[in-house]
């Protein structure tokens, strides 16, 4: 036994990763792998899956093979491991012949502990057999849901992994995924022929994420206003269409935000370039379709905005899950409008396969419910994954009272009256014009400027009236008649509101939507940084080092490590090692950059 085998996983956690304790389930998974068992693990994004296979990889005497689907990500993962002093490398189609030969000779010399391979590489004829040349001790399958047709990202190349078991009957296999469904779990275990596997299903609760839903009335300025309160932080804005993606990025740039766009219409090179700019903090915001993000390694994404309604809760969860992977508080904003429901319904109606159509409808209904009922958002998400949760999470708009209700009966009656007096024959914009008293040709032609309701809502702006109409639609007091040019019609319940037999409340947040409420902003954007000025200086040191080494900044240190440095303010190596994410290798490599910066800062601020 060499010395590394004698060290246990706990001390590796500290000396190599720089962490004091395991996250939930990590230790159990590592122990099971070390004892030679097959393992199935479902753990949310940011739960710390990589450490679960890297620590056994370090301990096993021989080679650990990690199968990972994304070539773009692989280099990042390997760079990150190397930074910690782990002997890791990768094989995929991005390498030149010469580089590949070089890696093989390192493998033959037994110099590599952890080898990352793409599934398509493994599927090449004779490749699996070739692995017999090396002392393979363990296979880890990352993003294992790619095996399952039920998963959201099926990849045919993954099916080839079914051959691992036959070829290596006695080598343990561990599968990892952030997908929670039981169907996917069953598929993975069956296809990989896992034998009596140790199964771990972690909680999917992402405590560090704050969920908030706003009515969408002016998306571009709502998105900008949210971002503007988070200057210098990294965030993702999801939009449904490529056109909206480009328009939103352009708008943000005009407003002075360093934003870039990303969608499947860009060339592969452009996409890689834009993702890289985001990765290295050259731009703060990436506006994207859902083509962006699967497996993104960047740990310091501080917020995710959905400018349009996502297709399902699963999608929403995976997309928002990209924020806060370092465990620091992060925010998720969803802009909700009834118009989006209609758009999605339109697309769903084009689907030919009846089963798929049904599923899409069901998904849509659930996300609508999620966004409109007054129930803890976290509770609803977890229940979607069949996980019980008490609610009252204290970290969503519902639980934080952002959705406190305000009586808006009178204004609702003004709108309903306008709808009734115009014979339920007009759409949203026209009704707003009537209530607001717009002097348009169309209104004059129809004599609607003579109505009692004309201009009755002049005292408030159009945005307000749009918000009231959106609320009336989402509470089903009115609906848009899709058969007849989307004219607004009143439901039976809506008539009760009109005649004062039924209450009408809107959220406090809608009521405040056009007043600037800074207090509210502070409440939902918890202060992340102990010393903002020092944090900025440490970030500069990090950026420079990252630039010199040609790796993304978060690979040098996570935001969390920098935040801790501002709080602990370490004075020597020993204290520096107490910072989360500082292991021996990083102390050696970077202590001499960060420690003096902290000291200088403290001296400067002492007098
Ligand atoms: P996943 O692959 O599950 O999405 P990662 O393995 O990338 O998550 O881990 C997310 C982040 O959490 C990484 O920055 C990782 O270093 C950190 N992390 C993992 N385990 C721990 C731990 N026990 N203590 C503190 N941080 C951890
Ligand atoms: Zn809640």
* CA-nearest residue, atom 26 of ligand 1: 19
Domains 3-201 and 209-384 share a fold: yes
Q: Are strands 88-91 and 234-238 parallel, antiparallel or unpaired?
A: unpaired
Q: Which atom of ligand 1 is nearest to the CA of 580?
A: 25
Distance from Cα 356 to the centre of ligand 1, integer Å: 35
CA distance 573 to 587: 7
pLDDT tens-digit series, residues 48-97: 999 999 999 999 999 999 999 887 788 889 999 999 999 999 998 888 99
Instruction: Give yes or no for residue 324 CB within 6 A of ligand 1.
Output: no
- Cβ-based neighbour number of residue 439 at 10 Å: 10
Q: Where are the alpha helices (DSSP H) in 133-212?
A: 163-167, 182-191
Distance from Cα 260 to the centre of ligand 2, integer Å: 32
The CATH fold of domain 405-511: Arc Repressor Mutant, subunit A (1.10.10)
* CA-nearest residue, atom 19 of ligand 1: 48
Instruction: Give yes or no for residue 51 CB within 6 A of ligand 1.
Output: yes
Query: What is the per-residue pLDDT for 482?
Result: 77
Read off the pLDDT band of 166 (50, 70, 90): very high
Domain ranges of the chain: 3-201, 209-384, 405-511, 529-604
**In the predicted model, is pLDDT for residue 1 greater than 80?**
no
Q: Residue 38's closest CA among 142, 166, 174?
A: 174
CA distance 566 to 597: 11
Q: How far is CA 514 from CA 215, 499, 578, in A?
A: 12, 28, 46
**In the predicted model, is pLDDT for residue 184 greater than 90?**
no
CATH number for the segment(s) 209-384? 3.40.50.300
HSE on the CB side for 112, CA within 13 Å? Answer: 24
Query: What is the per-residue pLDDT for 133?
Result: 93
Query: What is the per-residue pLDDT for 441?
Result: 92
Query: What is the per-residue pLDDT for 518?
Result: 29
Q: How far is CA 10 from CA 1, 29, 173, 291, in A?
A: 18, 13, 22, 38
Q: Which atom of ligand 1 is nearest to the CA of 17?
A: 16
HSE on the CB side for 328, CA within 13 Å? Answer: 22
Which residues pair with residue 211 across a beta bridge? Answer: 332, 396
Distance from Cα 379 to the centre of ligand 2, integer Å: 7
Q: Which atom of ligand 1 is nearest to the CA of 327?
A: 12
The CATH fold of domain 3-201: Rossmann fold (3.40.50)
* CA-nearest residue, atom 25 of ligand 1: 19
**Cβ contact 56:64 at 8 Å:** yes
Query: What is the homologous superfamily of the domain 529-604 according to CATH?
Result: HRDC domain (1.10.150.80)
**Taking residues 397-402, what's their average pLDDT?**
83
Instruction: Give yes or no for residue 45 CB within 6 A of ligand 1.
Output: yes
CA trace torsion 8, 9, 12, 14 (10° rounding) = -110
Q: Which atom of ligand 1 is nearest to the CA of 21?
A: 23
For residue 402 the two structure tokens come to: 């952002």
Query: What is the per-residue pLDDT for 486?
Result: 84
Which residues pair with residue 259 across a beta bridge? Answer: 285
Q: How far is CA 134 from CA 108, 113, 131, 290, in A?
A: 7, 11, 6, 39
Distance from Cα 368 to the centre of ligand 1, integer Å: 32
């Amino acid at each position: 036994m060499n010395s590394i085998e004698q060290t246990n996983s706990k001390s590796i956690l500290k000396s190599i990763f720089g962490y004091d304790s395991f996250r939930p389930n990590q230790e159990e998974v590592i122990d099971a792998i070390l004892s030679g068992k097959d393992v199935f693990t479902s753990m949310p994004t940011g739960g710390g899956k990589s450490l679960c296979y890297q620590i056994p990889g370090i301990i096993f005497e021989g080679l650990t093979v990690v199968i990972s689907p994304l070539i773009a990500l692989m280099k990042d993962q390997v760079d990150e491991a190397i930074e910690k002093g782990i002997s890791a490398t990768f094989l995929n189609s991005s390498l030149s012949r010469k580089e590949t030969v070089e890696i093989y000779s390192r493998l033959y010399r037994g110099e590599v502990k952890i080898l990352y391979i793409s599934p398509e590489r493994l599927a090449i004829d004779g490749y699996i057999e070739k692995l017999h040349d090396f002392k393979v001790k363990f296979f880890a399958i990352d993003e294992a849901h790619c095996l399952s047709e039920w998963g959201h990202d099926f990849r045919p190349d993954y099916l080839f992994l079914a051959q691992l078991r036959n070829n290596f009957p006695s080598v343990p296999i561990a599968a990892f995924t952030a997908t929670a469904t039981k169907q996917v779990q069953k598929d993975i275990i069956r296809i990989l022929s896992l034998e009596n596997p140790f199964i771990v299903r972690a909680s999917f609760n992402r405590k560090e994420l704050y969920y908030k839903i706003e009515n969408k009335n002016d998306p571009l300025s709502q998105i900008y206003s949210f971002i503007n309160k988070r200057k210098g932080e990294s965030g993702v804005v999801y939009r449904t269409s490529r056109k909206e993606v480009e328009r939103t990025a352009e708008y943000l740039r005009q407003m002075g935000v360093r934003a870039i766009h990303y969608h499947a219409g860009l060339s592969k090179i452009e996409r890689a370039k834009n993702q890289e700019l985001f990765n290295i903090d050259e731009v703060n915001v990436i506006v994207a379709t859902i083509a962006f993000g699967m497996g993104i390694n960047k740990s310091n994404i501080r917020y995710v905005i959905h400018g349009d309604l996502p297709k399902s809760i699963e999608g929403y969860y995976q997309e928002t899950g990209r924020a806060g992977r370092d465990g620091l508080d992060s925010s998720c904003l969803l802009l909700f409008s009834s118009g989006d429901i209609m758009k999605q319904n339109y697309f769903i109606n084009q689907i030919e396969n009846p089963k798929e159509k049904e599923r899409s409808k069901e998904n849509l209904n659930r996300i609508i419910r999620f966004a409109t009922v007054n129930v803890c958002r976290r509770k609803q998400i977890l229940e979607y994954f069949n996980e019980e949760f008490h609610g009252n999470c204290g970290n969503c708009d519902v639980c934080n009272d952002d959705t406190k209700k305000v009586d808006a009966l009178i204004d609702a009656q003004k709108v309903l009256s306008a709808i009734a007096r115009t014979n339920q024959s007009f759409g949203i914009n026209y009704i707003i014009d009537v209530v607001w008293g717009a002097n348009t040709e169309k209104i004059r032609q129809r004599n609607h400027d003579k109505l009692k309701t004309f201009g009755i809502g002049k005292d408030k702006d159009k945005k307000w009236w749009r918000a009231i109409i959106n609320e009336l639609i989402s509470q089903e007091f009115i609906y848009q008649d899709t058969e007849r040019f989307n004219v607004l019609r009143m439901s039976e319940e809506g008539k009760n509101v009109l005649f004062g037999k039924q209450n009408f409340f809107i959220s406090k947040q809608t009521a405040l939507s056009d007043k600037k409420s800074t207090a509210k902003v502070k409440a939902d954007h918890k202060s992340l940084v102990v010393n903002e000025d020092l944090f900025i200086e440490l970030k500069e040191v990090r950026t420079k080092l990252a630039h010199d080494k040609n790796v993304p900044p978060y690979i040098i240190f996570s935001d969390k490590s920098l935040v801790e440095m501002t709080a602990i303010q370490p004075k020597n190596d020993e204290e520096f090692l107490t910072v989360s994410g500082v292991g021996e290798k990083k102390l050696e490599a970077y202590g001499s950059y960060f420690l003096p910066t902290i000291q200088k800062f403290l001296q400067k601020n002492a007098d």
